Chain A
Amino acid sequence: QSALNQPASVSGSPGQSITISCTGTSSDVGGYNFVSWYQQHPGKAPKLMIYDVSDRPSGVSNRFSGSKSGNTASLTISGLQAEDEADYYCSSYTDRSTYVFGTGTGVTVL
């Protein structure tokens, strides 16, 4: 199973909005509304930010939102803050009853 494709890096200034894409196939992203997004700070475990394409767990800021169109999912961070600087990974359920993660995107707050 090939990793989902994400841009290696995205940057933005405080207060701006950024969007991270996650491209898969009809066997994963396009076939199921089971896309999740995770935030990972250096040396820490990943944290769930978005599940089921666009739902937020309790406690996650509403500055984080998710969407999907066809085989591509997206994570948007609005009102970018310094604490948002981290690595972000998408993940999808697949038609092999497994999960596949994205290649990861490093977000830099300028």
Chain B
Amino acid sequence: QVHLVESGGGVVQPGRSLRLSCAASGFYFSSYGMNWVRQAPGKGLQWVASTSFDGTTTYYEDSVKGRFTVPRDNSKNTVYLQLNNLRPEDTAVYYCARDRLSRGVDYWGQGVLVTVSS
């Protein structure tokens, strides 16, 4: 069955960087686009970024453009979210989610908490 496991979260100071990982199993990872979605404490879901199956095409939500990137390593069945120049408003649970060919996301990981605070 499809399994997505995020890791790498924690507490980080404003302006610093963090890299999240999402390890995938149970499906042919190299054939699927992947997404990152976040949820601030007590708030709703917000799509953050996506990468195509081969990593050549990426898209970002406006508030993270230029600060976040979403590389992937198909040899390791892993997608990453590189978070740079973090701001307090980036504090959230970050989920990775499998893409359904631009028709939405289907499977989600359990999420990982990122707290940006001095």
Verify A99–B105 contact, CB threshold 8 A.
yes
Verify A98–B50 contact, CB threshold 8 A.
yes
Give the total of B residues in contact with A, Cβ under 8 Å.
22
Determine which of A34, A38, A51 lies in contact with B45 in the assembled complex, contact meaning CB atoms within 8 Å. A38
Verify A99–B47 contact, CB threshold 8 A.
yes
Q: Which A residues lie at the B interface, using CB under 8 A? A: 1, 3, 34-36, 38, 40, 45-48, 51-52, 57, 89, 91, 93, 96-104
Instruction: Please measure, in the bound complex, the distance between the C-alpha atom of A22 and the C-alpha atom of B91, giving whole angstroms.
Output: 26
Instruction: Please measure, in the bound complex, the distance between the C-alpha atom of A34 and the C-alpha atom of B99, giving whole angstroms.
Output: 12
**Can you list 27 A-B contacts (CB < 8 A)?**
A1-B62, A3-B44, A3-B46, A34-B103, A35-B104, A36-B103, A45-B108, A45-B109, A46-B108, A47-B108, A51-B103, A51-B104, A52-B104, A57-B106, A89-B45, A91-B45, A91-B47, A91-B104, A93-B104, A98-B47, A99-B47, A99-B50, A99-B104, A99-B105, A100-B47, A101-B46, A102-B44
The residue of chain A having its C-beta at the shortest distance from the C-beta of B93 within the complex is A45
Q: Is chain B's interface secondary structure helix, strand, loop, or mixed overall? A: strand
Instruction: Please measure, in the bound complex, the distance between the C-alpha atom of A40 and the C-alpha atom of B107, giving whole angstroms.
Output: 13
Verify B102–A101 contact, CB threshold 8 A.
no
Determine which of B95, B105, B110 lies in contact with A36 in the assembled complex, contact meaning CB atoms within 8 Å. B105
Instruction: Please measure, in the bound complex, the distance between the C-alpha atom of A97 and the C-alpha atom of B47, giving whole angstroms.
Output: 12
Counting from the closest, the 5 A-B pairs by CB-CB distance are A36-B104, A104-B44, A99-B47, A45-B108, A101-B45
